[in-house]
Amino acid sequence: MEPSEIARLIEANFDNANVTVTSDDNTHFEALVIAAEFEGVRPLARHQLVYKSLGALVGNEIHALSIRAFTPAELRQQDRED
């Protein structure tokens, strides 16, 4: 599975999300998801929202998925700290 297809599937389940997905082997993926919907949502619940958008692909075509999920404000704060 191509990273761009995974990004498209995730983006389709969020309003105005910014999603970047990378992979070295097209079975193990890393996703950076920036979405306002994460405001007030705990980290585990954020990951669950991302996994839900991918459904049965997780564990099948997507063997492993590492997720970093932030609100736009959290990402801006993190960028200032780096």
pLDDT of residue 20: 98
The CATH number of the domain holding residue 65 is: 3.30.300.90
pLDDT of residue 81: 78
Number of domains observed in the structure of the chain: 1
Identify the sign of the CA torsion 63, 26, 71, 56.
negative
Q: pTM for this structure? A: 0.91
User: Are residues 74 and 36 in contact, defined by beta-carbon separation less than 8 angstroms?
Assistant: no
Q: Can you give the pLDDT of all 82 residues of the chain as single tens digits? A: 899 999 999 999 999 999 999 999 998 999 999 999 999 999 999 999 999 999 999 988 898 999 999 999 998 888 777 6
Domain range spanning residue 46?
3-81
